[in-house]
Structure 1
């Protein structure tokens, strides 16, 4: 496993632990959302920080030694410390506004920093190969711009590994918490830079529309290496769709960071949603997309490519944002917005918001894009779209742009849309205009017609794909394999149902195993991507007509909860041993009994119904830390591909982790899946692109539920809109609604809900895996656009969350996972009674 991946996994575990421990200390809901993970210089690290920071020095001791530090803005440190000493809200807001870091707040934040240092120590001791401890020392107030880069304070002037995460406390968005680690101490130093430079020259030669300024820089390098140009024809083989997906993922990350960064700057809840990325022309933008007067922020792009991007916001929205920053009273703010009074103070304030925006795009593109790009905010200009001359270079040149549009909500109030316009050539998205995309498949079928500027991209993939397809298996063999796999999947589903019944009977409580998913997975992917945190593996010998080993893998805390429930530990003691991850001998024995029951279930089903008689015998239990698993070793199981059957576990309505059962492919006579796996994955990608409806709604009775599909949206209008990210629960709700005669449309949180509201809708269900800000943002969008009943379905409701949901327009709550009877009752209460 690569060192950076190892460190990132550990930091992810640290964030989870800090979230739990600091939340428990404060008695508040404390959420950390992962951010940047990258190597930086000391100068780069402190250039990114804005405003005064509280720096907690951390000494690293043990087999790894060095100096680290934890940084949060002074306002966030005051909020955390003030929450701990329970300052009244009015007083807390006052001291935050004055940045008054007084002694008792400093002491209380120091306690939080101690907790964080302890959490870092625990996870590094558990998951890092070399023992090391993080000891919190003094704290100090820093002004980033005044940090002496050459000094040894607060950290040495060396390469650092920066890990950041945004903070939310009781639904209030805060800024980032930043941890700086000495890169060399953890084996994270950047490798050779020369190849990177060569690669830069190689890739930058490709774009035809790149400004002359950039081309001029490269010509001496090109002429000095005569063997270089022929192989440098490789970069044009850019798969347009794949590259566009990469860009869209970057822009999705930008949207998330903009939410947190602008919220932190303004001190209010800002939600940017409905991300919509598309290629448009200058004329399209000003005639169809820009509504009313616009404030355009010119953003000069420097780095490996040079160009200019444009950040466009409606004038009233720019005044609104600027007015909040300079703390205009609500009545005055409303007046200046209505009068479109963009005063000098408001302009300067909005300019600060635009600076934050440019900083976010810079951070994301420097971290994650193939080209290093920096976005520098220049001038602001006021534009009236109807007066724009398309043929001129003002206010923007006439060329193709990649538009990233987001809807803006401020303090629960829905405003307009904002747009970030990137020249398409800058993002290497100019090789295939958007209008040609629908014809691409037909073009390839007919005569392989090539699209300008990307001949290699169109001609190269076609010979490669046939090379993969003939080799694996014949169509007949594949059909036979698919049928056998379906039989195996049915058996595994039966096993899951029986496990649920048997374990519930043994424990005397309600245990649910849901959302079963079966897939082929390798050892590396399983331990590096699929599971995290300590795992308990129960090995099962398989004997009979086929021999092998199978493995039951459960998160350590879930294994403790299951074992503790069997030996009837008191609730308080059970929660304590789970928090301490104390897998005592008694708990191990009890969990071992559960593993025996599960082995018995698989034996019964496979002896009765499988083509080969197999018995599963539980042998031993052992704990595993995924980060420390050696891929080439035979422990905990050999480096091979396996058939993974995974289920979501819940006990007495507590949603827990996953129950994973791993089988060697040969044991289930599925070894043919090795040959077909790549082909199947390619087909899955195409299927995903074609299918609008979530997979959870496309099976069984749900296949007829989403009667309103994208191509024929005008034909039938849905009665009920399901919006969310919990496909399993949405499927259950949709099945019930369909049975009651309602037509249903399912959308994700990222889809544009305004295309369906209000229409002929009778109600909207928000169906979420977690009750969080994303869900509340969807509630705000719906309630601001119509007066339809909104029902929020999700797990883990607290009094605070319910109050917040009601505040944002939610009419009723449905606790998930929900039984059919609960859903029917909810529909009756909220639809039939309202209709009556």
Structure 2
């Protein structure tokens, strides 16, 4: 029998004895389950603990000697000690909640610790070949993060053998009972030493957090004063410590918020991630936000920020001031964040800052206090990234939580900590120092503002094409995000108006000119509604819908009988009543775009519904200004579905200049020039491109089929079909860098699209220039001219969608057979 097996067998006997003797002492069922035994360093042993602990030191005497300790969470120690002195259940619950470790409970838990030490003594004396006794010494309350590793308390800094048992009392689950034994005392240090000798490179560290940084370096030197020696901080260990603290904050927050509100508050789905200011406001939040500024003082100073949507802030404040359910629903819907709601929500954020203060003071290596200052209402799309408002431009570590109150699911609440404040220095990432927020009232700030307003416009001609493209792409992403919000709100508002379920699916946004729209995009008669744009920008946008669909929605609004409705749609009778009814729907649509763009666009603009007219696309004179001027537009297209039946498309046309997307024309021209093979590009010499290509090399070399496009439904069907056939598949969007995967070991490339347009043909050109693989284009609405164009640019086969699995199988089999031949 090996030494470890001998010790583990003794520990199993100890576990059974502890269960029996502690249960007898308490007069109830005490159970120890889920045992685990492992070697661990002192640093790791205490890093793995969460929350305050009660440590009872145990001296080992006899033929062997050393120092061990018994650890239990403070709440578990209070429960055990309180049970022993027979506290009433209600009082016991209150004492546990307050973590009130009184002298009386300390004495009673000490008796239990004596019993446990005695159990170790009895079984080791009976079963271990060398005589030894465990003598319980002093006990103390400790915070694991603040244990001095190099000290001898509560155990020496040596290799330890960790014993862990999960506790339950009278059926109630508790935490773990931990015993740390000196490995050398029981001749258990050899295997541990062998393990520690393994190269660090062989260790794999996993994290459940959403980390947006990468690197291989394990240690980063934290910034120190000139007169201090640099302190090496292990990034992974520090991140693990912070994540444990944030887990504890989650638990306490829901208890404190629920206690304040008087209803259950549940915080779930904790995700901790790194993010910059720009990415946070562009990708991590939507809609108006309320940001609570929390000044941090103590061993480190700075500002953290608690962020919640305005609707959730209104809801929380309304619950606190006990608004009736109907009134609460109305105030949330209308986002009425008045004085009462602000005061109430301010109290809640005070509680939140108190929780973070309590947990960080107890468990962080440095004492940090969070003091709630002001509340700021923020529109993410209007945030100036370069300014220090509402938060400085720095790297943040964000703790994101999903919130529900009294059974109602709300959104996410997020706490933003400057990464440097928590001494989190991600490898390969240069962390900016925490910036102090300047006072808005200082003369210096005002002077800077005045100077900026008098500056001449920046001449961008000297900037690189790549930077211009990035800026345009970022602005396009913002606009697309707003159009997606409009889509969702529009289907909700139109559904309410019509009294039936309306869906607007498959939104697609792209650049198009007047000729392309009327000759390629639409064919049936259209109803064009002019939407005048006023505000910070002025001009006209246009709402276009098939005449029959306009009649249908108008007829639905005036509640025409089903038979009569189908008759007037078939006859295209767009009478006065139907026109007036459709006009009301156009009013609703213009109101939706006004609401979203007023709140979230960088410029405050409104859409006012003006006249509507019928047009026949093939009779349009391109050179005229009717029904729309001849210029480039940004088209937002959605498929209309009413009551489960699919109809035509609703199109919104925005002049590119109106939504500041003229730069897309230059980007598209640059993209069109990317027809050279990937190996001929000068960008290949760029370090980032080289590193990126290295990351995808292994994945690229293990793929059989690449699927590229925007038709998710068809793409998923293809993935499923190809996987069933044993092929290795990768799915990309048109926005992804497809050159990273070409040609590799690919056997075929599939383009899947909602509609056959210029974006698709541009992708065909890029793929054909980079490889000679079978290229299959899958989409709806193929015409003879489009097929000829596709084949001319390099498409080998056409697949009409929607397609069945059998049709997809036939396509891949025929193309691979042709390739083999």
TM-score range, shorter chain: 0.3 to 0.5
TM-score normalised by the chain length of structure 2: 0.34
